Amino acid sequence: MIREQLYDGHKRKIGDVRISVTDRCNFRCQYCMPAEGLPWLDREDLLSYEEIARLVGLLASMGVHDVRLTGGEPLARRELWRLVELLSADENVHDLSLTTNGYLLERQVEQLVKAGLRRVNVSLDSLAADRFFQLTRRNSLQQVLDGLAAAERHPELRPIKVNAVALKDFTEDEVVRFAEFARKHPYEVRFIEFMPLDADRTWSRDRVLPNAEVRRLIHAAYPLKDLGRDRHGTSRRWEFADGQGSIGFISPVSEPFCGDCNRIRITAEGNLRTCLFSMTETDLRGPMRAGASDDELERIIRAAVWEKELKHDVNDEGFVQPLRTMSQIGG
C-alpha cells in the first residue's frame, strides 16, 4: 500500500529514517560515551525486529525510502542480519545501510550481505593504534581495519564510507594520512564535525575542528576539486585533482544543512525524534503495543513530523544540549 508522502511543517519532504537498534556499545568513544558506559535499556524496552519492520514499512509507504541502521553499536544486537532480511524484503525500502564501529564487521559481513545489506559506513577516527585507543578507549584498530577489508571483499557492498569525527588539536596530525588512506582504498573518507552530543559534556566550540581547515590541510598536500553536495545535502564531496579517489565533509556546526534536512530518527525504545538536537520525542512503542492500527500510527507520525524543527540552534546564544547522547539517539 502506498500512502501520501510525509512532509514536515516547513514543506520538507521526509525521505530518510535512522533506526537505532540498541543503545549499547562495545566502544567508549570520548565524544559520545562515558568511560563507564551508560545505564542500558532493558531488553523488553527495545523495539523487536518485527516492530521495527512494521514502522519502517509504514514510513517507507509514506515515501521514507532510505533506511539506516545505527545505535549504539548495531552489530552488538544479536542476529542483526534477521532485521536486514526483513527490511530488504520491503520493496518500498530503496536504500538500506548500516553505520557501525566495525569491530564485529569481519565476522558478520557475509551474513549481512546475504540478508540484503548493500551499503556500510564504518566509523574510524584514527589510523594509529595509540590514538585510536585514546579516542575509543578500546585497543581495536586492527579489528576495525579487518572489518573494512572484509567489507571490501564483497563487491555488492558499495560505497564503503569511512567516517572520522574531527577534533581540534587532535585530528590535524592525521588528516593527510586519512587522505592517503582514501586514495589507496576504495573507501570514501568523510570528516564529521564534533557536535554537542557527548555524554561527558566536554563539547565546546574550540574543540570543533572546522572542515574548512581539514580541507585546507589536505588540499595543500593533494589538490582537491569540488564535486558539490551529495544527493541528501548532508555532505560535500571533493575529488582528488588527479582522479585518485574522493573525500567528503559533513559540517553540521560550521555550515549547517538544516534547510535540506529530510531526516527523522527512531530511538532503540521506539521514540520518534525529528532532529538530533530535539528536546521532545514521540512515543511509538506505547501505541504499537496497545494495538494501534497503521492508520493510527500514521496520524501520530504525521503530527510529530509536522513539528520538525526548522533548524538546530547549536550556533545560537543559549543553546541547550539535549539530555540524550549520540549513542542513545542513534547517530
Name the β-bridge partners of 66: 16, 95
| Residue closest to ligand SAM, measured at CB | 331
250 labelled binding-site residue: no
| Between 59 and 80, CB nearer to ligand SAM | 80
Work out how close the CB of 299 gets to ligand SAM at its nearest, in angstroms, rounded to a whole number: 30
* Burial zone of 64 (CB within 10 Å; 0-12 exposed, 13-18 middle, 19+ buried): buried
Which residues would be at the binding site for ligand SF4 (CB under 6 A)? 25, 27-29, 32-33, 71-73, 101, 123, 326-327
* One of 61, 101, 262, 271 touching ligand SAM (CB under 6 A): 101
Q: What is the largest CA-CA distance in the chain?
A: 59
Q: Is the peptide bond preceding residue 159 cis, with omega within 30 degrees of 0?
A: yes
Q: Is 267 annotated as a binding residue?
A: no
Q: What is the CA radius of gyration of the chain?
A: 19
Residue 215 main-chain phi, psi, to 5 deg = -65, -40
Least distance (Å) between residue 86 CB and ligand SAM: 20
Question: Is 31 marked within a binding site?
Answer: yes
Is 270 one of the binding residues for ligand SAM (CB under 6 A)? no
Q: Whole-angstrom Cα distance, residue 131 to residue 139?
A: 10
Interacting positions 162-221 with ligand SAM (CB under 6 A)? 163, 165, 192, 194-195, 197-198
CA dihedral 97, 103, 105, 107 (to 10 degrees): -160
Q: Which residue has the cell 595543500?
A: 220
Verify binding: residue 98, ligand SAM, rule CB under 6 A.
no
Q: CA-to-CA distance for 13 and 5, rounded, in angstroms?
A: 7
DSSP secondary structure code for residue 128 in this structure: S
Using CB under 6 A as the criterion, which residues of the chain lie in contact with ligand SAM when the complex forms?
25, 31-32, 70-71, 73, 99-101, 123, 163, 165, 192, 194-195, 197-198, 326-327, 331
Annotated binding site for S-adenosyl-L-methionine: 31, 72, 123, 195
Annotated binding site for [4Fe-4S] cluster: 25, 29, 32, 258, 261, 275
Annotated binding site for GTP: 18, 68, 99, 161, 263-265
